[in-house]
Amino acid sequence: MAARVVVIGLASDFGCQVQMTNIEDDLLDVLGTIDLVYWQLAASGHMPEEYDVAIVEGAVTTDAHVETLKRVRETASVVIALGACAATGGIPALGATGDLEAHYGCVYGQDAAQVACGRITPMAIDSVIGVDYVVPGCPIDTEEFLVVLSRALLGLKSRVPAEPMCAICKTKENVCFFERGELCLGVITRTGCGARCITLGRPCTGCRGVAPEANLDSAIALLAEKGITAERLFERARLYNTLEEALDR
């Protein structure tokens, strides 16, 4: 019996779900191995009561999101966090800093108290429930998503890379942005994307999260040698990693 899969969207721009549709040649093969019983982006029906795998995109920003995730964890055997918003809070987590009520006022005006009712401080989904697999990135890499989904369906352990991106970037023979005096977050960001942005001529913006094996002190020392301050590093890194404890300095 094929695994019953649901795809759920919380607070995000749905970009990672859209990226799922870009699997192209592999999409039909994937759909042939699962029973896709609900996909919020593609269906208007209600989520079923029973399913095996839940793929969740987006950050938690409302009480309703919390309740949804609790039901998901009670029902699904496997929960996959899809993309930066789900994995680290992503860009929605920027709203966790400063005066949240003031943010609501800027967005909703004088009706903020009514319209924003039930809103909570943005957070990653693992702040609410346990997560079994993570597909980092903004947006996700389709090949990586297929690998993670396959591992989940086969019951294999999660293998999210723990090392920073610089090592793989060197194998691509990319010219280091630090040599140009430009800030690149590959020195602290989790690898696994093939250093795609850097290879295309853009510095890493940290969308894959801070690598567990990143040495922040060494990174700060390296940047100082290049005339780049730690403040610039942390300010740039918080775009996708506001809630990362490693950046609380």
Query: In the structure, what pLDDT confidence band is assigned to residue 28 with cuts at 50, 70 and 90?
Result: low
Say if 177 falls within a structural domain.
yes
Please report, for residues 50, 138, 156, 201, the alpha-carbon distance to residue 141 in angstroms, rounded to integers and kept in the order given.
28, 8, 20, 18
- Which pLDDT does position 116 carry in this prediction? 66
- Among 154, 186, 216, the domain-final residue is 154
Tokens read off for 125: 């989904």
- The dihedrals phi and psi of 211, each to the nearest 5 degrees, come to -70, 130
Beta bridge partners of 95: none
Say if 161 falls within a structural domain.
no
- Which pLDDT does position 148 carry in this prediction? 94
Tokens read off for 102: 């003031």
- pTM (2 decimals)? 0.91
At 48, the amino acid letter reads P
Same domain, 87 and 113: yes
- The dihedrals phi and psi of 56, each to the nearest 5 degrees, come to -120, 120
Average pLDDT over residues 104-122: 76
State which residues form the domain around 235.
Answer: 166-247
- Among 131, 154, 177, the domain-final residue is 154
Query: In the structure, what pLDDT confidence band is assigned to residue 110 with cuts at 50, 70 and 90?
Result: confident
Same domain, 124 and 17: yes
- The dihedrals phi and psi of 103, each to the nearest 5 degrees, come to -60, -45
Tell me how far apart the 2 most distant CA atoms of the chain are, in Å. 58
- DSSP, collapsed to helix, strand or coil, labels residue 210 as strand
Say if 159 falls within a structural domain.
no
At 6-21, the pLDDT tens digits run 999 999 999 999 999 8
Least confident of 15-19, 72-76, 106-110, 188-192: 106-110
Domain count, the chain: 2
- The dihedrals phi and psi of 205, each to the nearest 5 degrees, come to -105, 5
- DSSP, collapsed to helix, strand or coil, labels residue 175 as coil
Give residue for tokens 């549709």: 21
23: CATH: 3.40.50.700
- The dihedrals phi and psi of 115, each to the nearest 5 degrees, come to -70, -40
Same domain, 42 and 126: yes
Same domain, 42 and 105: yes
Same domain, 13 and 98: yes
Same domain, 180 and 235: yes
Beta strands in the chain (DSSP E): 3-9, 34-39, 53-57, 60-62, 78-82, 119-123, 133-135
Angstrom distance (rounded) from CA 142 to CA 21: 9
Same domain, 17 and 133: yes
Same domain, 150 and 173: no
Say if 97 falls within a structural domain.
yes
Same domain, 119 and 217: no
Same domain, 123 and 24: yes
